[in-house]
Amino acid sequence: MATATTPAMKKFLNDPADAVRESLAGLAAAHHDLLRYDADAQIVVRADAPVAGKVALVSGGGSGHEPLHGGFVGRGMLDAACPGEVFTSPVPDQMLAATKAVDGGAGVVHIVKNYTGDVMNFKLAAEDAADEGITVESVLVDDDVAVQDSLYTAGRRGVGATVLLEKIAGAAAESGDDVQRVTALARRVNARARSFGVALSSCTPPAAGKPMFDLPEGEVELGIGIHGEPGRRRERMSSARELAGVMVEAVVSDLQAPPGAQVLTFVNGMGGTPQLELYLLYGEIDRQLREAGLEPVRNLVGSYITSLEMAGASLTVLELDDELASLWDAPVHTPALRWGA
Amino acid sequence: MATATTPAMKKFLNDPADAVRESLAGLAAAHHDLLRYDADAQIVVRADAPVAGKVALVSGGGSGHEPLHGGFVGRGMLDAACPGEVFTSPVPDQMLAATKAVDGGAGVVHIVKNYTGDVMNFKLAAEDAADEGITVESVLVDDDVAVQDSLYTAGRRGVGATVLLEKIAGAAAESGDDVQRVTALARRVNARARSFGVALSSCTPPAAGKPMFDLPEGEVELGIGIHGEPGRRRERMSSARELAGVMVEAVVSDLQAPPGAQVLTFVNGMGGTPQLELYLLYGEIDRQLREAGLEPVRNLVGSYITSLEMAGASLTVLELDDELASLWDAPVHTPALRWGA
Amino acid sequence: MITEPIVRASTITVWLTQAGADVRARGDYLTQLDAAIGDGDHGINMTRGFDAVDKALAGQGDGVLPGRLLILAGKTLVSTVGGASGPLWGSALRRAGRALGDVEQFDGPQLALALDAAIDAIVELGAAAPGDKTMVDALVPASRALHAELDAGSSLDQALAAAAQAALEGAEATVPMQARKGRASYLGERSIGHQDPGATSAAIILAALARSVGESG
Amino acid sequence: MITEPIVRASTITVWLTQAGADVRARGDYLTQLDAAIGDGDHGINMTRGFDAVDKALAGQGDGVLPGRLLILAGKTLVSTVGGASGPLWGSALRRAGRALGDVEQFDGPQLALALDAAIDAIVELGAAAPGDKTMVDALVPASRALHAELDAGSSLDQALAAAAQAALEGAEATVPMQARKGRASYLGERSIGHQDPGATSAAIILAALARSVGESG
Ligand SMILES: Nc1ncnc2c1ncn2[C@@H]1O[C@H](COP(=O)(O)OP(=O)(O)O)[C@@H](O)[C@H]1O
Ligand SMILES: Nc1ncnc2c1ncn2[C@@H]1O[C@H](COP(=O)(O)OP(=O)(O)O)[C@@H](O)[C@H]1O
Ligand SMILES: [Mg+2]
Ligand SMILES: [Mg+2]
Ligand SMILES: [Mg+2]
Ligand SMILES: [Mg+2]
């Protein structure tokens, strides 16, 4: 069965250069009721786009974080996703094509994770869209407390809050809110959410064919990003209880929510962490958040913003208010997130 | 941060011996609206059990396959799950406790994957239940075409069809069908479903602390089970297209569905396979099934019956009829599978 | 016949404690055997079960009948082991205990009958025949040796030593077999060349029996 | 001054083709540098971009103005590279092309102005200052050297060779810097001790420029 084209790494791939495109085609084949894949423009678009009179949400970023973003296209969440190559920002052409494809006349919101590449490419796209007469609002996601937000960094990265923001802003847009309100809500989610990630292993991008970094036996990387960027520091592997403690402390101390605040707890797997471990970790985190005086009233546990098959997890805590909670609860129907529909 | 209790393997664990229990406690903390965890009886039970007059579904098996089974407890699917230690059948006491906890007077159906241990433990439990006056029907799942069903084996293993059967029988029970009909439907799903799995890596059970088996660089294991049992044969790694071909051929030739038959395609990740690859594989399989003359009209793509963090995938094809399709479409609300609710 | 060892409740306790210690000591080896042709948990399963048996026996006062102890141990194994070996060994001990009934002590022939009852329970539940590469391949030769020695007038000590030896040889004889029962059967021909873990633990348990009766006799 | 090389459209084509070939040849090295302090795709990104530039240039007939070629190459990079380097290099070439306007050929001082326009575009978009450990740390010294040599009366060949050398040294000088822009900045002090991939590819591209003008001069 071995052939000349046999890939060196062990992954379900044909030509590694085609991985993203073939995967998106598979996504569209599985979910043609929800979305379509425009292979020329390299974008994933809601099946019924453009929805006249509805604010449209466009997100995008490197691939390798599935289900983010293609898996969140559908009713009540994204109108379009622009997937770049693995761990590489998409290009402005994709964002412009997506913006044009979903513009229903009520304005388009670009959801941009704060990475230099994403920010610059979305900026060029927004300029192009403005040239074509489409109102674009950009919302920056930068919730990763592992990065210091100072003059000496590119600012905090956008990580887990992206999922929550896309759900909540998507619900607002679906309910008919105008572009200012959708934008404001999205920014509120970002302002009230904090995240911190931990990697137990590296991961192998198809085009590279070898692991992004080495993580020696018995060590973990704390403050990891979602692109396989090394984290802030390495430590000896410790128990789930202790790792949960590091995550909770980092997030809670930065969020500074008032005592008794109601929160949404998002425990996210990086791709290679079994659900058995993820729920075990959730149990630890839930307890420690309560000990820290917060009240988890909603949660999301699963692998929603990943780094290929990396073993690891991130914690995102979002401070809720009634409006955010009810938008979170609103129906959503996408390949990866679905309820009430 | 390293302590004396630092586990040797890199997993989110405290004491590995507590892994299953702590994970179930986390599951219950996250989904207390849907289910509760009885730590003494070591079972997961639907929050509103027993539902008077409803046929109750009890499933169980070794842990390490999450979300199976605890993640499928809720409305429209399982009434209770009995999780054993990792990759080890639960004991009859759990099954009996679950049976008693969910019995709503309309009978209880035990869903048993065909493994010697599961079969024998469920058999003892059913005898105990009968002693206590509870009608129990047992449904055996044995859909794995990698195992020859002959006098010379323990028969085919129960793999991917389990998920589909639990959903469909769960919908029938929720709709008020009686125990004979629910049992008959469950058996029909099993009779019309076939599966085949491929492993690209091994996995590490917490208690063992080391990989179950070695898979040399560049080799794959074809016909793998879900307990880390070695498969039927090893081959050189090949392309997604070729691996899809092996899976489709194995399943389709055994299923022997009539030309043009409508099918549900279930492409399942074994735990460590990124969604990018899973959808790429889905695309290949979908195309090849159509080429084989079948018509995929429903699908499920994701990691639903796993082997911890094993990299790999399985294909299950279920030949549908109108009734099975509409039961599949019926609302379900569990931690892992949710729609229409 | 006055020096012939007699089996009492205390012998049962010593045996099960010994068997547990031996299974625990060889747990990694058993798990390794299971990893090759099964799912790599046999040592863990049996250890978990015997840990629970130890606790259960520790809770028993003096004067409990040997048959009762076996039934208790069997129930404990059923309730804690899971997998294939739990119900098999659990049913085996329960059936052996029931076969003994209410006797306070018993001799070789009664022990042989109890062993046969245990094997019957295993075969009833698991339907394995000799040659299927299971624990049955250790237990059936053991029973045959026990009967033969006793019939030939050997002491119970000698007879049990022969039975233990037969179990060990039976376990070793599983190496060239192709499995037809249990997980190993999924492997087809690839199961050939490996020793069956369940037969191996059965041999360990019978060796502990021979030693325990010898000691307390 | 009659032997002074003049830059023409063909020089631009030779340069970009050369630069692409060099980036491709050192792609693994660039990716490796990026893996240490970024996300390990810089070589792949730049290669993808220059592959597309090759194709775009191949589609151009004779007589296209050099400024137009640069704008085309810039647009192609923007449209195909993604990441941080795509919009930065793309905007740089587009701005350089626009700075040249409609000239058919140009000399050293004009080339220096085009390079400055390119750097302006990069700084406008990315806001990096010298010392932030980015491509700017290769490009700014290169521009400074080019101006200095031309002002001192050196030939364009010599001036470009000095600029390329300055770019190389600028890239090497990023090793001890702590990154303040781009992904590497997330690492804080851990970014120290590694050479910046974007500065390194910038040096490669400037070396190709020096060689191309030398050749076609
Ligand atoms: N049908 C059977 N009859 C008798 N013994 C069996 C049967 N199936 C399996 N076994 C025994 O059980 C052993 C495996 O036990 P264990 O690993 O604890 O359970 P599991 O296979 O469920 O993981 C095998 O080595 C074999 O000796
Ligand atoms: N703000 C910036 N200004 C100038 N150059 C930058 C900036 N941010 C990043 N770079 C350059 O981009 C390079 C990384 O490019 P690349 O790896 O292709 O993109 P990405 O970081 O998006 O993966 C860095 O080595 C650095 O030289
Ligand atoms: Mg990148
Ligand atoms: Mg087992
Ligand atoms: Mg086993
Ligand atoms: Mg990079």
- Does the structure show a pLDDT above 80 at B161? yes
Query: What mean pLDDT comes out for the span A70-83?
Result: 98
CA–CA dist B267, B244 (Å, integer): 10
Query: What mean pLDDT comes out for the span A53-57?
Result: 98
Residue B207, C-beta contacts closer than 8 angstroms, at least 6 positions apart: B16, B17, B19, B85, B86, C41, C44
Query: CA torsion angle for D121, D126, D127, D130 (degrees, to 10)?
Result: -90
Query: What mean pLDDT comes out for the span D26-53?
Result: 94
Nearest CA to ligand 2 atom 18: D42
Are B101 and B43 in contact by the 8 Å Cβ rule? The answer is yes
B263 beta partners: B296, B319
CA–CA dist D85, B61 (Å, integer): 51
For ion ligand 4, residues whose CB falls within 5 Å:
B 88; C 39, 41, 83
Cβ–Cβ contact A335 with D under 8 A: no
- Does the structure show a pLDDT above 60 at B92? yes
Are B270 and A9 in contact by the 8 Å Cβ rule? The answer is no
Tokens representing A205 are 């991008």
Cα angle for residues A289, A292, A293 (degrees, 5° grid): 95
CA–CA dist B325, D141 (Å, integer): 68
Residue A216, C-beta contacts closer than 8 angstroms, at least 6 positions apart: none
In which residue are the tokens 């804690």 written? C80
CB of D181 sitting under 6 A from ligand 2: yes
Residue D196 CB neighbours (<10 A): 32
Is A149 buried (19+), middle (13-18) or exposed (0-12) by CB count in 10 A? middle
In which residue are the tokens 């997604």 written? B240
What's the per-residue H, E or C state across chain D?
A: CCCCCCEEHHHHHHHHHHHHHHHHHCHHHHHHHHHHHCCCCHHHHHHHHHHHHHHHHHCCCCCCCHHHHHHHHHHHHHHHCCCCHHHHHHHHHHHHHHHHCCCCEECHHHHHHHHHHHHHHHHHHHCCCCCCCCCHHHHHHHHHHHHHHHHCCCCHHHHHHHHHHHHHHHHHCCCCCCCCCCHHHHHHHHHCCCCCHHHHHHHHHHHHHHHHHHHHC
* Mean per-residue pLDDT over chain B, rounded: 94
Reported ipTM: 0.94
Please tell me the distance in Å from B216's CA to the nearest CA on chain A. 11
Cβ–Cβ contact C31 with B under 8 A: yes
Query: What mean pLDDT comes out for the span C101-112?
Result: 95
pLDDT at C2: 43
DSSP, res A75: B
CA–CA dist D65, D48 (Å, integer): 24
CB of B116 sitting under 6 A from ligand 1: yes
Are D181 and D132 in contact by the 8 Å Cβ rule? The answer is yes
Which residue in B69, B110, B227, B333 is the catalytic one?
B227
Tokens representing B281 are 């594989």
- Does the structure show a pLDDT above 50 at B1? no
Q: How far is CA B181 from CA A178, B122, B163, B329, in A?
A: 51, 21, 18, 18
Query: Which residue, B79, B133, B131, B82, is CA-closest to B109?
Result: B79
Range of weakest confidence among A47-51, A124-128, A230-234:
A230-234
**How close is the Cα of C82 to the center of ligand 5, in Å?**
10
CA–CA dist C28, C200 (Å, integer): 12
Q: Point out the ligand 2 atom lying closest to the alpha carbon of residue A117.
A: 22
Residue D216 — very low, low, confident or very high, per pLDDT cuts 50/70/90?
A: low
Tens-digit pLDDT profile for residues A177-227 = 999 999 999 999 999 999 999 999 999 999 888 888 888 889 999 999 898
In which residue are the tokens 């990104």 written? D45
What is the CA A246 to chain-centroid distance, rounded? Answer: 22
pLDDT at B8: 55
CA–CA dist A129, A148 (Å, integer): 32
What's the per-residue H, E or C state across C102-121?
A: CCCEECHHHHHHHHHHHHHH
CB of D43 sitting under 6 A from ligand 2: no
pLDDT at C5: 76
Cβ–Cβ contact A18 with D under 8 A: no
In which residue are the tokens 């425990």 written? A267
Residue B124, C-beta contacts closer than 8 angstroms, at least 6 positions apart: B92, C78, C87, C91
Q: Length of chain D, please?
A: 217
| Domains (range + CATH), chain D | 7-216 (1.25.40.340)
- Please give the helix or strand (H or E) that residue B36 lies within, else none: strand B35-38
Are A314 and A320 in contact by the 8 Å Cβ rule? The answer is no
Please tell me the distance in Å from D124's CA to the nearest CA on chain A. 11
| Domains (range + CATH), chain A | 15-191 (3.40.50.10440), 193-321 (3.30.1180.20)
Nearest CA to ligand 1 atom 5: C134
Crossing angle for the helix pair A19-30 and B275-291, nearest 10 degrees?
60
Cβ–Cβ contact B227 with C under 8 A: yes
Residue B5 — very low, low, confident or very high, per pLDDT cuts 50/70/90?
A: very low
CA–CA dist B268, B315 (Å, integer): 6
**How close is the Cα of B167 to the center of ligand 4, in Å?**
25
Q: Point out the ligand 2 atom lying closest to the alpha carbon of residue D136.
A: 4
Which stretches does DSSP call E strand in A11-149?
A: 35-38, 43-46, 56-63, 80-86, 108-113, 136-141
Are B116 and C126 in contact by the 8 Å Cβ rule? The answer is yes
Report the b/e string of A167-198 with b at 16+ CB within 10 A: bbbbbbbbeebebeebbebbbbbbebbbbbbb
Tens-digit pLDDT profile for residues B48-89 = 999 999 999 999 999 999 999 999 999 999 999 999 999 999
Cβ–Cβ contact A275 with D under 8 A: no
Q: Length of chain B, please?
A: 341
Type of residue numbered A112: V
Residue C216 — very low, low, confident or very high, per pLDDT cuts 50/70/90?
A: low
Are A113 and A162 in contact by the 8 Å Cβ rule? The answer is yes
pLDDT at B211: 87
pLDDT at B192: 98
- Does the structure show a pLDDT above 60 at A96? yes
Range of weakest confidence among A29-33, B41-45, B151-155, C98-102:
B151-155
**How close is the Cα of D203 to the center of ligand 2, in Å?**
14
Crossing angle for the helix pair A179-191 and A161-174, nearest 10 degrees?
160
3-state class percentages of chain C: helix first, strand second, coil last, to nearest 5: 70, 0, 25
Q: Is C33 helix (H, G, I), strand (E, B) or coil?
A: helix
Which chain D positions have a beta carbon within 8 Å of A93's beta carbon?
78-79
Type of residue numbered C166: A
Range of weakest confidence among A97-111, B138-152, C72-86, C112-126:
B138-152
Partner-chain contact B283 A236, CB within 8 Å: no
Tokens representing B54 are 């409803």
Q: Identify which ligand lies nearest to the alpha carbon of C182.
A: 1
Query: Which residue, A165, A166, A160, is CA-closest to A267?
Result: A160
Q: Is A65 a known active-site residue?
A: yes
Tens-digit pLDDT profile for residues A258-267 = 999 999 999 9
Query: What mean pLDDT comes out for the span C79-86?
Result: 96
**How close is the Cα of C30 to the center of ligand 5, in Å?**
9
Q: Point out the ligand 2 atom lying closest to the alpha carbon of residue A118.
A: 22
CA–CA dist C128, C122 (Å, integer): 8
Interface of D with A in 183-202 (CB under 8 A): 183, 185-188, 190
Tokens representing A172 are 């607002």
Measured distance between the N- and C-terminal CA atoms of chain A, rounded to whole angstroms: 44
Which stretches does DSSP call E strand in A34-124?
A: 35-38, 43-46, 56-63, 80-86, 108-113
The alpha carbon dihedral of B152, B153, B155, B159 has a sign of negative
**How close is the Cα of B83 to the center of ligand 4, in Å?**
12
CA–CA dist D113, A69 (Å, integer): 42
Tokens representing B252 are 């389709």
Are A267 and A234 in contact by the 8 Å Cβ rule? The answer is no
- Does the structure show a pLDDT above 70 at D16? yes
Which chains lie within 8 Å of chain D at 3 or more CB pairs, if any? A
Query: What mean pLDDT comes out for the span B158-186?
Result: 98
Query: Which residue, B124, B172, B162, B170, is CA-closest to B141?
Result: B162
Rounded CA Rg of chain B: 19
Type of residue numbered A312: G
Are B60 and B40 in contact by the 8 Å Cβ rule? The answer is no
pLDDT at A1: 36
Interface of C with B in 115-154 (CB under 8 A): 125-126
Which chain D positions have a beta carbon within 8 Å of A62's beta carbon?
82
- Please give the helix or strand (H or E) that residue B15 lies within, else none: none
Q: Is A227 a known active-site residue?
A: yes
Measured distance between the N- and C-terminal CA atoms of chain B, rounded to whole angstroms: 43
What is the CA D31 to chain-centroid distance, rounded? Answer: 17
Which stretches does DSSP call E strand in B209-319?
A: 219-222, 233-236, 262-269, 295-302, 312-319
Are B259 and A32 in contact by the 8 Å Cβ rule? The answer is no
Query: What mean pLDDT comes out for the span B297-322?
Result: 98
Cβ–Cβ contact C87 with B under 8 A: yes
Count of CB contacts below 8 A, A vs D? Answer: 112
Interface with C, mutate which of B212, B229, B232, B307 (most C CBs under 10 A): B229
Tens-digit pLDDT profile for residues B249-300 = 999 999 999 999 999 999 999 999 999 999 999 999 999 999 999 999 999 9
